[in-house]
Amino acid sequence: MSDDRVTIFDTTLRDGEQSPGCSMNTDEKLRVAEALCDLGVDVIEAGFPVASPGDFDAVSKIAERFGDRATICGLARCRDGDIDAAADAVTRGERGRVHVFLATSAIHREHKLRMSTEQIVERAVASVQRAKERVEDVEFSPEDAYRTERDFLCEVVEKAIDAGATTVNIPDTVGYATPQQYFDVIKMLKESVPNIDRAVISTHCHDDLGMAVANTLAGLEAGARQVECTINGIGERAGNAALEEIVMALRTRSDHYGLTTGINTRKLSPVSRLVGGVTGQGVPRNKAVVGRNAFAHASGIHQDGMLKNPATYEIMRPEDVGFVGTDLVLGKHSGRAAVKARLTELGYTPDDATFAEVFDRFIDLADRKKEVFDADLAALMDAKLSGSGSNRERWTIKSLHTSSGTTGVPTATLELIEAPAEEGGETKIHRDAAIGDGPIDACFNALERIIGIEGRLDDFVVKSVTRGKDALGQVDVRLYAGGRDRHGRGVSTDIIEAGARAFLQALNRADADRRDPG
Ligand SMILES: CC(=O)SCCNC(=O)CCNC(=O)[C@H](O)C(C)(C)COP(=O)(O)OP(=O)(O)OC[C@H]1O[C@@H](n2cnc3c(N)ncnc32)[C@H](O)[C@@H]1OP(=O)(O)O
Ligand SMILES: CC(C)C(=O)C(=O)O
């Protein structure tokens, strides 16, 4: 491999699986392994074969089926049984790797392993040699390498390479290093270990302080050429470095890193969804690269920028990571540009006056609803278009208040704006209140009194435009008024308001005929 090509070692099926609640059965592991091959990872760490017969079976089957598409790796402690199990499983396929590890930091040596430094070196060397008898491709990890004394780390790494390790992995097992510190340790190994050129240096960073990806990238800058990572960053505790973030950082900032991978980035989002589904650990909306919000824009200024040139607010193209496209989410922070663009996409070409009115209704709706969907916007537009035909209706609602319940008389208090008949004329406000059989009936009675036209309600149909508790309700009314049948439509998250708007639209039509009978 050329010196600028980074080996992607995916450990979703091993370290990722160690994340609480993320364990996978053999079928699930096979599905993920196939997706990882399609994605183009170089090495799949498929499991820890000695851990259970099920894991042995999964690693063996993955090696059999996919060992010709990626190197399949099995993890082993420095114990003969572990190494033999890992070798037995991975050698079922064409390209197998055994990954042996042994902790080297003082705290792990003294409290967990209860071994001296001499014993550690001896056991590491013997284990690498045992693995080497079975496979050519052996990786060695000094667990908790970052917290290991530097001289001792150099010694273990050198001896592991002499024993046959072709990859030396430098784990920041507890996610303690900062990017600069991780850079320094990799650089130090490159400069101080005499035989380091005979092995690939690998990174394995945990995310306890949220620095796993930054540390991994720092490791690459210092000379590492393999990265261990997982889809969606799943793994022990806070997780591992996220594969999708590393790959897209290298690609997007190739000007800075000058490194490449063999990953087909268009598969990143599908693999992320697969792993999220199989593990039941969904991807947070704001997750970099693969989260639902990664290419979604909700604020008007950003939406306006995106419509003018996507490069204003996106540094990657959504299609390049497998998203259909940018999502301009309509809501209370949206501006005119985004709403107009969406209406055009939906096939509407409102004139300025119609758009101004629909935009006002949109903002009013967006204040009550988390997200305004296409169907909501279409309903606002349709309600407007099914109006009197003139751009501005003579009567519009300024405010509406109703009271109703199991006791007392339902009442409605309404304020209507009466638009001037001619340009430059005076706008008038009318107020009235009425009672009725229910709050909607009370609204209708108040509307009739203010406008001075009576209607006989023949039909009242209410339906929900979208789903959810805050869905927009649409009311269609048919009433006989001014000697004719009239239709009216109103939409609102409040069904009483939607009914009043529908009734008012029908009365506006009757009023237009009254004023202009011809
Ligand atoms: C940083 C990492 O991610 S390391 C990988 C972590 N992954 C796992 O643990 C995989 C799931 N684990 C398992 O299924 C089990 O723990 C097994 C099968 C590996 C071992 O199970 P058990 O034999 O019951 O041992 P247990 O888990 O209780 O303790 C671990 C033992 O391994 C020893 N050990 C830990 N790491 C190593 C190592 N790299 N090499 C040799 N021995 C080790 C511990 O000192 C301890 O030994 P002890 O029992 O003599 O005190
Ligand atoms: C086994 C090693 C590589 C590991 O997972 C760690 O140190 O975090």
Ligand 1 nearest-atom number relative to CA 52: 14
226 lines ligand 2 (CB under 6 A): no
Of 3.20.20.70, 3.40.50.300, 3.40.1260.10, 2.60.120.1130, the CATH number of 7-279 is 3.20.20.70
Task: Calculate the CA 35 to chain-centre distance.
Answer: 19
Ligand with minimal distance to 168 CA = 2
pLDDT at residue 388 in the model: 46
Candidate of 82, 101, 157, 228 to mutate for ligand 2, largest count of ligand atoms within 8 Å of Cβ: 101
DSSP 180-238: HHHHHHHHHHHHH-TTGGGSEEEEEEB-TTS-HHHHHHHHHHHT--EEEEBGGG--STT
Confirm or reject: Cβ of 169 under 6 Å from ligand 2: yes
Find the ligand nearest to 56 CA. 1
**Euclidean distance between CA atoms 77 and 51, whole angstroms:** 10
Q: Is the CB of 173 under 6 A from ligand 2?
A: yes
Average pLDDT across each block of 10 residues of the chain; the chain has 518 residues. List them in order: 92 96 95 98 98 97 98 98 98 98 98 98 98 98 98 98 98 98 98 98 98 98 98 97 98 98 97 94 95 95 96 97 94 96 94 94 90 91 70 85 93 95 88 96 97 95 86 92 91 93 94 83
- Edge-to-edge strand list for the sheet holding 455-464: 455-464, 473-481, 484-492
Q: Per the structure block, which two tokens stand in for 87?
A: 């070798």
Q: Ligand 1 centroid to 113 CA: how many Å? A: 10
- 60 C-alpha to ligand 1 centroid (Å): 21
Annotated binding site for Mn(2+): 15, 204, 206, 240
| Residue 392: predicted pLDDT | 65
Mutate to test the pocket of ligand 2, among 79, 98, 100, 141 (most ligand atoms within 8 A of CB): 141
Query: What are the tokens at 255?
Result: 């000007």
* Local structure of 404: helix, strand or coil: coil
Binding-site annotation, residues: 15, 204, 206, 240
Q: What share of the chain is helix, strand, coil (3-state, %, to 5)?
A: 45, 20, 35
Q: How far is the CA of 455 from the centre of ligand 2 (A)?
A: 77
Q: Is the CB of 141 within 6 Å of ligand 2?
A: yes
* Contact present, 224 and 230 (Cβ < 8 Å): no
ipTM above 0.85, yes or no: yes
Q: Are 493 and 472 in contact (CB under 8 A)?
A: yes
Query: What is the C-alpha separation between 421 and 116, in angstroms, rounded?
Result: 96
CB 161 within 8 A of CB 195: yes
Structure tokens belonging to residue 435: 């009672």
The whole-number pLDDT of residue 480 equals 94
For residue 431, give Cα distances in angstroms to 161, 172, 399, 425, 447. 89, 72, 9, 20, 10
Closest protein CA for atom 26 of ligand 1: 51
Ligand 2 pocket test, pick from 98, 140, 204, 240 with the greatest ligand atom count within 8 Å of Cβ, gives 204
Q: Whose CA is nearest to atom 8 of ligand 2?
A: 173
> What b-and-e string marks burial along 436-459, b requiring 16 or more CB atoms within 10 Å of the CB?
beebbbbbbbbbbebbebebebee
Nearest atom in ligand 2 to 171's CA: 7
Ligand 2 binding pocket includes 202 (Cβ within 6 Å) = no
b/e map 268-286, b = 16+ CB within 10 Å: bbbbbbbbbebbebebeee
- The CATH class, in words, for 386-515 is alpha beta
What pLDDT is stored for residue 468 in this prediction? 79
Q: pLDDT value at position 85?
A: 98
DSSP class of residue 282? P
**Ligand 2: does its nearest atom lie under 6 Å from the Cβ of 143?**
yes
Domain ranges (residues) in the chain: 7-279, 296-377, 386-515
- Angle at the Cα of 311 (from 309 to 314), degrees rounded to 5? 125
| Ligand that lies nearest to the alpha carbon of residue 79, given by its number in the listed order | 1
